[in-house]
């Protein structure tokens, strides 16, 4: 799964690089595929590792927050000290924070990570006030979007992840029929956007109830792990290059538009159990996959730095430089932040497992 995760992260990076003429699967679609992968992994760890709800929540927060906080700090220095940002300006920040309500919304979303996806539904007027806009306006000389006030604008997806984490332990306990019912209800919410006067991509991508089914789809895929475990690992080894090739060649496929999205969802969900079974014990694959999160959080700033300071070079060289710096930034964040925090998380989990359970209480009761 690690190679698939890094491929999806690269798709997001390429989608945000104006100098990249070649794209693979779209960035927005890649993020939604990440949601499926997240649902799959949460089902795995809730089934195999956690019997304490508080430990699950705190460890998930530790998984996301330290690297996010570091990137917020680095992005703030880059913007206010050097004027470098992929989406904001000092003037924009000054106007946004001059309005008390907007300042409160931005500060709260930065500190908690929650509600960042909601900022995509608002523009800022001339006084920096939030104005609801369901049309999905794009930023230009006359229109400023509220999400441009985020130091790490791609972290909107972390808000969606946190909302799912809050529900994951309860969803994991549902029987197959109940979980399928939640999936169908989520799909219905997704398609109801066609009946509303809203920007449908915004509805599908930045409204949690319309995206919940993606996480649930991943949890349903995890239910197929016992079947995958009975089959040879070579199935997963054979599927991996096929999945990677399809992700790379996605723009060339004859299926486009909304059907293309559902094909991608099916591809990730259907192959996840076999890929996980094949590569779960492959340390190199896991290490590569762990770079996907820091790369995702750092790539917009890396792109901004290259665009601001790189000398005039051919587009292919700018792309190569950006990708190289993105990998270096991801590796640095992983080694300095993610890996030490992960060791702490695993130590907390090990201590909890070693602690004696209350008499008569099965582990499943505290999953």
Indicate the pLDDT class of residue 349, thresholds 50, 70 and 90.
Answer: confident
* Rounded mean pLDDT, 16-24: 87
Mean pLDDT score across all residues of the chain: 92
104 and 146 in a single domain? The answer is: yes
In this predicted structure, the answer to whether residue 360 has a pLDDT above a threshold of 70 is no
331 and 252 in a single domain? The answer is: yes
In this predicted structure, the answer to whether residue 289 has a pLDDT above a threshold of 80 is yes
pLDDT at 241: 97
Query: What confidence tens digit (pLDDT) does each residue in 194-218 have?
Result: 999 999 999 999 999 999 999 999 9
104 and 83 in a single domain? The answer is: no
- Name which of 291, 292, 278 is nearest 241 in CA terms: 278
pLDDT at 356: 67
319 and 218 in a single domain? The answer is: yes
* Rounded mean pLDDT, 78-95: 94
Tell if the pTM clears 0.75, that is, is over it.
yes
In this predicted structure, the answer to whether residue 244 has a pLDDT above a threshold of 70 is yes
Residues contacting 14, CB < 8 A, separation 6+: 20, 22, 23, 24, 27
Is 222 a domain residue?
yes
Q: Which domain holds residue 125?
A: 90-150
- Give me the percent of the chain exceeding a pLDDT of 70: 97
Residues contacting 198, CB < 8 A, separation 6+: 134, 135, 136
Is 365 a domain residue?
no
Q: Is 361 exposed, middle or buried (0-12, 13-18, 19+ CB in 10 A)?
A: exposed
pLDDT at 357: 58
Query: What confidence tens digit (pLDDT) does each residue in 147-180 have?
Result: 999 999 999 999 999 999 999 999 999 999 999 9
Q: Which of 103, 124, 150 is the last residue of a domain?
A: 150
Flag the least confident range among 2-6, 189-193, 254-258, 350-354.
350-354
Is 112 a domain residue?
yes
32 and 137 in a single domain? The answer is: no
Is 357 a domain residue?
no
Query: What confidence tens digit (pLDDT) does each residue in 55-86 have?
Result: 999 999 999 999 999 999 999 999 999 999 99
Indicate the pLDDT class of residue 362, thresholds 50, 70 and 90.
Answer: very low
Return the HEC string of the chain.
CHHHHHHHHHHHHHHCCCCCCCCCCCHHHHHHHHHHHHHHHHHHHHHHCCCCHHHHHHHHHHHHHHHHHHHHHHHHHHHHHHCCCCCCCHHHHHHHHHCHHHHHHHHHHHHHCCCCHHHHHEEECCCCCEEECCCCCCCCCCCEEHHHHCCCHHHHHHHHHHHHHHHHHHHHCCCHHHHHHHHHHHHHHHHHHHHCCCCHHHHHHHCHHHHHHHHHHHHHHHCCHHHHHHCCCHHHHHHHHHHHHHHHCHHHCCCCHHHHHHHHHHHHHHHHHHHHHHHCCCHHHHHHHHCHHHHHHHHHHHHHHHHHHCCCCCHHHHHHHHHHHHHHHHHHHHHHHHHHHHHHHHHHHHHHHHCCCCCCCCHHHHC
In this predicted structure, the answer to whether residue 1 has a pLDDT above a threshold of 90 is no
In this predicted structure, the answer to whether residue 119 has a pLDDT above a threshold of 90 is yes
81 and 221 in a single domain? The answer is: yes
Is 358 a domain residue?
no
Number of domains in the chain: 2
């Amino acid at each position: 799964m690690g190679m698939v995760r890094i491929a999806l992260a690269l798709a997001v990076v390429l989608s945000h690089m104006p100098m990249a003429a070649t794209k693979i699967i779209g960035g927005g679609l890649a993020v939604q595929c990440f949601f499926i992968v997240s649902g799959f992994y949460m089902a795995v760890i809730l089934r195999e590792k956690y019997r304490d709800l508080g430990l699950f929540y705190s460890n998930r927060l530790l998984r996301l927050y330290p690297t996010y906080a570091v990137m917020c700090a680095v992005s703030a220095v880059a913007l206010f000290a050097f004027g470098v940002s992929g989406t904001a300006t000092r003037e924009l920040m000054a106007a946004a924070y001059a309005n008390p309500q907007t300042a409160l919304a931005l500060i709260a979303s930065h500190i908690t990570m929650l509600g960042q996806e909601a900022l995509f539904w608002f523009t800022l007027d001339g006084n920096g006030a939030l104005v609801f806009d369901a049309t999905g306006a794009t930023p230009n000389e006359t229109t400023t979007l509220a999400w441009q006030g985020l130091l790490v604008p791609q972290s909107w997806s972390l808000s969606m992840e946190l909302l799912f984490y809050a529900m994951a332990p309860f969803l994991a306990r549902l029987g197959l029929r109940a979980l399928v019912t939640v999936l169908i209800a989520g799909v219905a919410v997704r398609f109801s956007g066609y009946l509303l006067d809203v920007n449908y991509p915004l509805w599908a991508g930045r409204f949690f109830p319309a995206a919940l089914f993606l996480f649930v789809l991943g949890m349903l895929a995890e239910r197929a792990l016992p079947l995958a475990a009975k089959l040879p690992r070579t199935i997963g080894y054979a599927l991996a290059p096929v999945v990677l090739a399809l992700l790379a060649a996605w723009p060339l496929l004859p299926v486009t538009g909304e059907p293309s999205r559902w094909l991608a969802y099916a591809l990730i969900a259907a192959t996840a159990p076999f890929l996980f079974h094949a590569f779960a014990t492959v340390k190199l694959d896991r290490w590569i996959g762990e770079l996907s999160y820091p790369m995702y959080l750092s790539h917009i700033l890396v792109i901004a730095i290259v665009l601001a300071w790189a000398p005039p070079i051919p587009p292919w060289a700018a792309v190569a430089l950006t990708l190289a710096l993105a990998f270096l930034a991801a590796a640095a964040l992983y080694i300095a932040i993610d890996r030490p925090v992960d060791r702490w998380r695993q130590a907390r989990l090990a201590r909890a497992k070693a602690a004696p359970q209350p008499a008569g209480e099965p582990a499943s009761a505290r999953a």
